[in-house]
Chain A
């Protein structure tokens, strides 16, 4: 310790408090009334927060989400899984192995042809129904 530290430390002017100080202070404390209750009890707060978190996780995991993609198609966690799902959703009608523009164009053409054929079949079916309706119609006279 430095000399100046020693000098400062030794310069303290000690004061001896009155003997009845503790007694009179406690008397005043007793007449003051009980201190306020703690509104923030850490034990209660942390246990409540823990319970709320567990319930929230349980709801999130076990309640089915109508808008969410099916969990079985997810191959990874987090963002990667979602990207993977969206890619699967887009590529599913097309051949996922073709990645070039030509291949995509070819796939689109085949889909278009398929749709046209489907519409044509639908039209044929409608005509057939109309014919059948005409055949079963009962003459008014």
Chain B
């Protein structure tokens, strides 16, 4: 379904056909839960936030302007909720955020050769990125959003998002190369 077709569907939901909203829940729930999960790293919490995002989006459906895809708008709502919940619980940043500028001097291990551990190593390196860069990386690589969509979700200029992604990649390249040598 195209953006225009989704807009038509939203019009009819606003006119009272609320049962048609299930199309959006069915289509986007996996991506949205995964998106939130990347941020909170807890399955149940991710589902709660995603559910709340769907309900809020439904309540504010009349405010959707169709500039971006419905999914982008939904991600934005979920993103705000996730950050608000993190702030409320005092978990504004993970411990690894503060380790961002501490070089990893651990010697390379045999385990890194193993694919599973390798992935975990990359994830840990991503965790050590500054929060904005980390979120941009997650949205770009894992949620497969475009620069424009990330900029819209994060309320930042496209140029800033591009810079964040570039810096994040450079830092990851350095860390991972160091870990493998």
Is the CB–CB distance between B47 and A12 below 8 Å?
A: no
CA distance A17 to B47 in the complex (A): 7
CA distance A9 to B63 in the complex (A): 33
CA distance A21 to B37 in the complex (A): 15
Is the CB–CB distance between A22 and B22 below 8 Å?
A: yes
A58 touches B (CB below 8 Å): no
Within 8 A of A (CB), among B1-53: 11, 13-16, 18-19, 21-22, 25-26, 29-30, 33-34, 37-38, 41, 43, 46-47, 50-51
Specify which chain A residues have a CB less than 8 angstroms from the CB of B25 in the assembled complex: 22, 25-26, 29
Specify which chain B residues have a CB less than 8 angstroms from the CB of A34 in the assembled complex: 16, 18
Interface size of A by CB at 8 A reads: 29
B78 touches A (CB below 8 Å): no
Is the CB–CB distance between B55 and A28 below 8 Å?
A: yes
Measured between C-beta atoms, what is the minimum distance from A97 to chain B in Å?
64
Is the CB–CB distance between B122 and A29 below 8 Å?
A: no
- Chain A 25-45 per-residue mask, 1 if CB under 8 angstroms from chain B, else 0: 110111010111111000000
Is the CB–CB distance between B169 and A4 below 8 Å?
A: yes
Specify which chain B residues have a CB less than 8 angstroms from the CB of A15 in the assembled complex: 33-34, 37, 43, 46
Question: A15-B46, A38-B14 in contact; A25/B54 too (CB < 8 A)?
Answer: yes
Interface size of B by CB at 8 A reads: 43
Measured between C-beta atoms, what is the minimum distance from B13 to chain A in Å?
7
A57 touches B (CB below 8 Å): no
CA distance A24 to B25 in the complex (A): 10
Partner of A29, one of B18, B41, B137: B18
CA distance A34 to B50 in the complex (A): 20
Question: A4-B176, A15-B33 in contact; A21/B141 too (CB < 8 A)?
Answer: no
Measured between C-beta atoms, what is the minimum distance from A81 to chain B in Å?
43
B58 touches A (CB below 8 Å): yes
Partner of A32, one of B41, B50, B58, B169: B58
Specify which chain B residues have a CB less than 8 angstroms from the CB of A14 in the assembled complex: 34
B88 touches A (CB below 8 Å): no
Question: A4-B169, A35-B14, A35-B62 in contact; A26/B126 too (CB < 8 A)?
Answer: no
Closest 7 A-B residue pairs measured CB to CB?
Answer: A11-B122, A35-B61, A15-B37, A12-B142, A11-B119, A38-B62, A17-B33
Q: Which residues of A contact B (CB under 8 A)?
A: 2, 4-5, 7-15, 17-18, 21-22, 24-26, 28-30, 32, 34-39
Q: Which residues of B contact A (CB under 8 A)?
A: 11, 13-16, 18-19, 21-22, 25-26, 29-30, 33-34, 37-38, 41, 43, 46-47, 50-51, 54-55, 58-62, 118-120, 122-123, 126, 137, 141-142, 169, 172-173, 176
